[in-house]
Amino acid sequence: MIDAILQNRKLQFVVLLIVFTLLCVIITPSDTNIFWRLPPLIKGLPLAINDSVEYLMSDWFPIDIYDPEIDDYEQKPLLSQITRSLSSVILFLINLIRELLLGGVKTIVTFTGWDWASENTWARWPALPWTVVASGAVILGYALKGLRLAILAGLAFVYIAVFGQWEPSMETLSFVLIAAPVSVFLGLVLGVWAYKSRVVEMVLNPILNVAQTMPHFSYLVPVTVFFGIGDHAGAIATVIFATPPMVRLTLLGLKKVSAEVIEAGMMNGCTERQLLYRVQIPSARRDMLIGVNQVIMQCLAMTVIASFIGAKGLGHNLLLALNQLRIGQALELGICIVLIAVVLDRMSLAWANKQTDYFADLSFVARHKFSLLFLAVFMAGTILAYVGTFLIKEGPNYLYLIPHNKGITTEQFWQAGVDWVWETFFYVLKGFNEWLIKGVLLPIKNAYLGMPIVATFILTMGIAYILGGVRSSLIVGALLLFIALTEWWDRALITAYLMTVGVVVSTVFGVIAGTLCAQNNLATRFMLTVCDTLQTFPSFIYLIPVIMLFGITDTSVLFAVIVYATIPATRYTIEGLRSVPAQLHEAGSMSGVSWLQRWLTIELPLSLPHMMLGINQTVVFALFMVIIAAMIGTDDLGQLILKSLSDRHGVGNGLTLGLCVAFIGLAVDQVIRTWADERKRLLGID
């Protein structure tokens, strides 16, 4: 009997379920029963984190700093000095770019001081006329890639200007133009370091794991404590979030460079430095470019979240619009973010793929044609803007800058649309909403909350053991134990419930959509492009349409989660199915399988490991969305993280809560990844 159970996975699952159900029935809810809930033994952790952060920032390692105001040395803690200088450097850089685009006085102030600047009112940096910036983008697009990119860049910038979002867009752009290069650089350095040193790789790996599964929100409070509030803090939070994928992909790319290519470099007499810079890094470029792409996406996704800690720009406005339920405006802002993302992405890609022409023997004019063209455009734009001051007597000078919200807007149209939907479908939507919440969601939620802690552990660790062995089981147990010992186990269960429902529905949708699209080349390409585009959207954008339809309810949260998390499920399903070798299809056809048989017996088993990795992604996406949806109003971990944002001592809470969310993600990741790797090895793929 025991032998049979040990041999058969299905039997193991059955036994596990029986044990789980029995435990659920036997154990009675009671605050003192440790089988029901564990005592919050690490309740003090957030406070401890707060205290140590406080100590680090205000007492640790004092150094003498010269203070010109009192003409004497003063004792100041080292760390706060470091973070302060770092902040001012980043702030200076962001302002520099921002004022190049929009004009201003802060850069001048940095060098002269406020007193001087307020006395000399002429000393203002003028903004570039929007026509010049937009034409500059067109020229850059043409120089990098050609006509198509030029048109794309031109349309994007004109849209931004015409819809009156020029100022916030340029603010966002200046923010991204600093955060993205810093993240790419940091990612490169860390990735190369990890490649060179096994120890560094081993240390970095778990840190990256946690960093990539921690919800964005939980970084914010620590960042404000160390760096204050403002654009620089937003940029730093963004860098923290955007660097891990770059590190990962750099390392992956370097590892994939074939041994022979490295040998070829060595045989050509490369020094170690030359080997790295001229052979290994260039050869790993493909993966690194994906990294750059991800960095840009993360940066734009963070613009909204960074606005919580004072970053200006589109994100800030989007947040305001969402709070005021101005759907139309939120939509227009969202499109601006997406446009910037797409243009930056294409441009960085084109820049990296640019070729040198060695045979061209060009004149000075030909070599510098784009710079000269830009100069001409600059002059023309400036003159045009100057002429504009005479032509347009009333209102703002549209040839210079289109002020915020003074452009065309389609807000009324969208608002009318929302109103129409509400009026027409009010009862249908309301009915559906109520049915979903009362009939489906609440029972599931109660079931989750009604699980005794022992049963939860047995179930999760049991699944991990069956699928991944003892090691997996112990890791999952340890991760969950951390959550169980905080005082937020019930909140975590709610997060888990929203995530599970989201993941299950997304997976069903994703697998169906993916399977249908994978049947046809055209559909496959179309769907992958759609997935690519949808992934460019910052996660907040997904809240816009669901709020439009369902208002502020749990249903909205769930729909946002489902829409967002279906993307990876679909993508990985298509990739998995398409990677099944053609020979197997032919072998199947020759054995006379039907369409369904082929899917069930050939395609599904072979692509399942890859699809499971997609579900892994789905889990991470769903978790992020659940947390972000705290904005709409939930009662899970995300809500607490959101609260910790406005708490002066929120660091400990924010970080611990973030870890809880990360650990849920990592526990799932552990099980799925171990299983998928094992399965891939068995099937001999990858």
Partner 1 sequence: MPSEVVISETDQPVVQCDSVYKIFGDNAIRMLQSANGVVDSKSFHEAGCIVGVNNASFEVNTGELLIIMGLSGSGKSTLLRCISRLTEATAGKIFIEGEDILSMSSKQLIELRRNKMGMVFQSFALLPDKTVLENIAFPLQIKGTGTQESIKRAKDMVDLVGLDGRENYFPRQLSGGQQQRVGIARSLAVEPDIWFLDEPFSALDPLIRKEMQDEFLRLQSVLSKTILFVTHDFDEALRLADRIAIMKDGVIEQLDTPANIVLHPATDYVDKFTKEVPRERILRVESIMDPVDPAEDVSDLRISKDAIIGTVAEAVFSAGKPVTVVDKNQTVVGALHASKVVSVLFGSRAEH
In the complex with partner 1, the residue whose CB is nearer, 286 or 471, is 286
Q: Where are the beta strands (DSSP E) in 43-156?
A: 62-67, 72-77
Query: CA-to-CA distance for 501 and 82, rounded, in angstroms?
Result: 45
In the complex with partner 1, the residue whose CB is nearer, 264 or 387, is 264
In the complex with partner 1, the residue whose CB is nearer, 1 or 267, is 267
Smallest distance from the beta carbon of 359 to partner 1, in angstroms? 8
| DSSP-derived secondary structure letter, 77 | E
Query: CA-to-CA distance for 295 and 311, rounded, in angstroms?
Result: 18
In the complex with partner 1, the residue whose CB is nearer, 324 or 353, is 353
Of the candidates 414, 438, 398, the one whose C-alpha atom is nearest the C-alpha of residue 321 is 414
Smallest distance from the beta carbon of 408 to partner 1, in angstroms? 44
Smallest distance from the beta carbon of 289 to partner 1, in angstroms? 10
Smallest distance from the beta carbon of 358 to partner 1, in angstroms? 5
In the complex with partner 1, the residue whose CB is nearer, 160 or 279, is 279
Q: Compute CA distances 305 → 235, 318, 320, 476, 684, whole Å.
A: 11, 10, 12, 30, 42
Smallest distance from the beta carbon of 136 to partner 1, in angstroms? 28
Smallest distance from the beta carbon of 253 to partner 1, in angstroms? 11
Query: CA-to-CA distance for 185 and 179, rounded, in angstroms?
Result: 10
Apex CA 289: angle with CA 98 and CA 367, to 5°?
A: 65
In the complex with partner 1, the residue whose CB is nearer, 32 or 356, is 356
Query: CA-to-CA distance for 110 and 122, rounded, in angstroms?
Result: 16
Smallest distance from the beta carbon of 294 to partner 1, in angstroms? 20
Query: CA-to-CA distance for 7 and 4, rounded, in angstroms?
Result: 5
Smallest distance from the beta carbon of 259 to partner 1, in angstroms? 9
Phi and psi torsions of 114, nearest 5°: -65, -40
- Contacts with partner 1 by CB under 8 A lie at 258, 260-261, 263-264, 266-271, 274, 278-279, 282-283, 285-286, 355-358
3-state secondary structure of 401: coil
Using the CB atoms, write b or e for 620-651: b if 16+ within 10 Å. bbbbbbbbbbbbbebebbbbbbbebbeeebbb
In the complex with partner 1, the residue whose CB is nearer, 114 or 277, is 277
The contacts of residue 334 (CB under 8 Å, 6+ apart) are 318, 537, 538, 540, 541, 544
Q: What is the largest CA-CA distance in the chain?
A: 94
Helices (H), 307-410: 314-323, 327-352, 364-367, 369-391
Query: CA-to-CA distance for 370 and 415, rounded, in angstroms?
Result: 43
Asked if 314 and 165 count as a contact pair (C-beta separation under 8 A), the reply is yes
Asked if 97 and 176 count as a contact pair (C-beta separation under 8 A), the reply is no
In the complex with partner 1, the residue whose CB is nearer, 356 or 363, is 356
Smallest distance from the beta carbon of 272 to partner 1, in angstroms? 8
Smallest distance from the beta carbon of 281 to partner 1, in angstroms? 10
In the complex with partner 1, the residue whose CB is nearer, 260 or 423, is 260
Smallest distance from the beta carbon of 679 to partner 1, in angstroms? 29
3-state secondary structure of 120: coil
In the complex with partner 1, the residue whose CB is nearer, 119 or 263, is 263
In the complex with partner 1, the residue whose CB is nearer, 290 or 485, is 290
Helices (H), 519-553: 521-536, 543-550
